[in-house]
Amino acid sequence: MSKFSTCSFMSYTTLLQPRASLKVQKEGIVTARCTKVARNLNMEKLRNNYLFPEISTREIEHMKKYPNAKIISLGIGDTTDPLPEIISSSMADYARALSTPEGYKGYGAEQGNKELRKAIAETFYGDLAIKDTEVFVSDGSQCDISRLQLLLGNNVSIAVQDPSFPAYIDSSVIIGQAGDFQDETGEYRNIEYMRCGPQNHFFPDLSTTSRTDIIFFCSPNNPTGHAASRKQLIQLVDFARENGSIIVYDSAYAAYITDESPRSIYEIPGAREVAIEVSSFSKIAGFTGVRLGWTVVPDELLFSNGFPIMNDFNRIVCTCFNGASNIAQAGGLACLSPGGIRALLSVVDRYKENARILVDTFASLGLKAYGGVNAPYVWVHFPGSRSWDVFSEILEKTHIITVPGSGFGPGGEEYIRVTAFGHRECILEASERLKSLFS
């Protein structure tokens, strides 16, 4: 860990300030002259650093310790295969056209290119009656999660899967929904944690789940890789309808589903009245750096006073966002062309094969691994072990980066997440190193 991690409130620029502008306090911490503006108290409630930058910090420290080691990253879910030519050339052509009077365009609609909105509705939602006007194009689903939090405000109660993608919880803390952190449980006081593990088929026991205003639900799930069945999602929608709750449904990994599991919450009857769906081009098109996603807000979704939620979300988008990059949207349109879809599915299939190799590797070592079938993540159980200890041992002895399960919530303790987003040769090399460590 970085030697500055215990002083995470200090910026590196502070350390570089001229000595005359610094003040040495009794405890030995060097700080710059302060303003009279108090820190946002909700920021103080966040636990440690955000998970993935913390992992990157530990990777950097490991590289300093072993400068000649070949590190294999199976941790942060960043795609590695290059973009298909049909997609990159479309963005390049658009960018070149910007240098001509005929091709130059400035601001577009905040809600997204109308042609792209229509293509998303037709390609991903088919006969589910999603209209292009219900699709809001964005710079990624994680950004939209924060915009939805701004829309919903700090007076709503929330539930999350446990384990779950940390952005749901951290954004809830920042906006003031979460309450204080409880050291004894590893949970925030005002968040309902819905435990999802092998003991309940990775789906919460809704009979014991308290009613909340908002339910964050990801399927296929990050980190467990579980895709909720139709029966499970019917239960979830019925639960939300009975309680007057809103489901924020994250379908970013739907393209990896290989069985009959629903790819959209809107496949479930009644979902249009209780669900918002966020999704992304990141993991299906390799747009982790290009940044393009979308959110669906149906006409029928209403606040308690009957006001359409879509109208307020549109205002949030228009106020806080100037629209996704026109270049990225040109790439999105290319993705959804017949040739683009074929090229994308080919890349997705390669990542699926990587996942199969990893699942088989852990199975050969007698370790229980979940996921890897409907998602690019493998969720590996190490009974009785602390997940950060497993992370550290694997990194130290094999030079492989994973993700400790506890970073996804208390339900992730004893697990690590391994990503299939890697070049095939790296996946095969990682398999051999893991076999050498655990066999």
What is the H or E stretch that residue 60 is in? helix 51-65
In this predicted structure, the answer to whether residue 388 has a pLDDT above a threshold of 70 is yes
Cβ contact 243:425 at 8 Å: no
DSSP string, 196-235: -SGGGTTS--GGGPPP-SEEEEESS-TTT-PPPPHHHHHH
Alpha carbon distance 261, 149 (integer Å): 28
At 29, is the pLDDT very low, low, confident or very high (cuts 50, 70, 90)?
Answer: low
Alpha carbon distance 270, 128 (integer Å): 12
Alpha carbon distance 400, 209 (integer Å): 37
At 38, is the pLDDT very low, low, confident or very high (cuts 50, 70, 90)?
Answer: very high
In this predicted structure, the answer to whether residue 198 has a pLDDT above a threshold of 80 is yes
Within a 10 A sphere around the Cβ of 33, how many other Cβ atoms?
A: 8
CA 141 from centroid of its chain's CA atoms: 7
Report the predicted TM-score, pTM, of the whole model to 2 decimal places: 0.91
Q: What is the pLDDT of residue 52?
A: 80
CA 404 from centroid of its chain's CA atoms: 15
Averaged pLDDT score across all residues of the chain: 92
Total residues belonging to the chain:
439
Cβ contact 157:399 at 8 Å: no
Cβ contact 309:317 at 8 Å: no
| Mean pLDDT along residues 393-421 | 96
The full set of domains in the chain, from first to last, is 5-37 (no CATH), 51-82+340-438 (3.90.1150.10), 85-338 (3.40.640.10)
Q: What is the pLDDT of residue 235?
A: 98
Vertex 146, ends 118 and 10: CA angle to 5°? 140
| Mean pLDDT along residues 318-336 | 97
| Cα–Cα distances in angstroms (integers) from residue 409 to residues 166, 175, 185, 187, in the given order | 8, 19, 10, 8
Within a 10 A sphere around the Cβ of 229, how many other Cβ atoms?
A: 16
Q: 214-218 and 246-250: which strand pairing? A: parallel
Alpha carbon distance 232, 161 (integer Å): 14
Alpha carbon distance 217, 236 (integer Å): 9
Quick one: DSSP state of residue 293? E
| Mean pLDDT along residues 22-35 | 64
In this predicted structure, the answer to whether residue 2 has a pLDDT above a threshold of 70 is no
| Mean pLDDT along residues 394-411 | 96
Alpha carbon distance 435, 439 (integer Å): 5
CA 108 from centroid of its chain's CA atoms: 26
In this predicted structure, the answer to whether residue 119 has a pLDDT above a threshold of 50 is yes
In this predicted structure, the answer to whether residue 9 has a pLDDT above a threshold of 60 is no
What is the H or E stretch that residue 195 is in? strand 191-195
Cβ contact 70:411 at 8 Å: no
The model's pLDDT over 234-255, given as tens digits with 9 standing for 90+, comes to 999 999 999 999 999 999 999 9
| Cα–Cα distances in angstroms (integers) from residue 122 to residues 125, 129, 135, 261, 336, in the given order | 6, 9, 11, 19, 10
- Structure tokens that stand for 236 in this block: 């979830």
Query: Residue 293: which of 421, 169, 124 has the closest Cα?
Result: 124
The model's pLDDT over 54-105, given as tens digits with 9 standing for 90+, comes to 888 999 999 999 999 999 999 988 999 999 999 999 999 999 999 999 999 9
At 30, is the pLDDT very low, low, confident or very high (cuts 50, 70, 90)?
Answer: low
Query: To the nearest whole percent, how much of the chain has pLDDT over 70?
Result: 92
Q: What is the pLDDT of residue 47?
A: 79
In this predicted structure, the answer to whether residue 346 has a pLDDT above a threshold of 70 is yes
Q: How far apart are the first and last CA of the chain?
A: 29
Half-sphere exposure of residue 126, counting CA atoms within 13 Å on the CB side?
6
Sign of CA dihedral 298, 195, 169, 39: positive
Q: What is the pLDDT of residue 13?
A: 37
Q: What is the pLDDT of residue 28?
A: 56
Q: Which of 5-19, 26-40, 255-269, 395-409 has the lowest average pLDDT?
A: 5-19
At 31, is the pLDDT very low, low, confident or very high (cuts 50, 70, 90)?
Answer: low
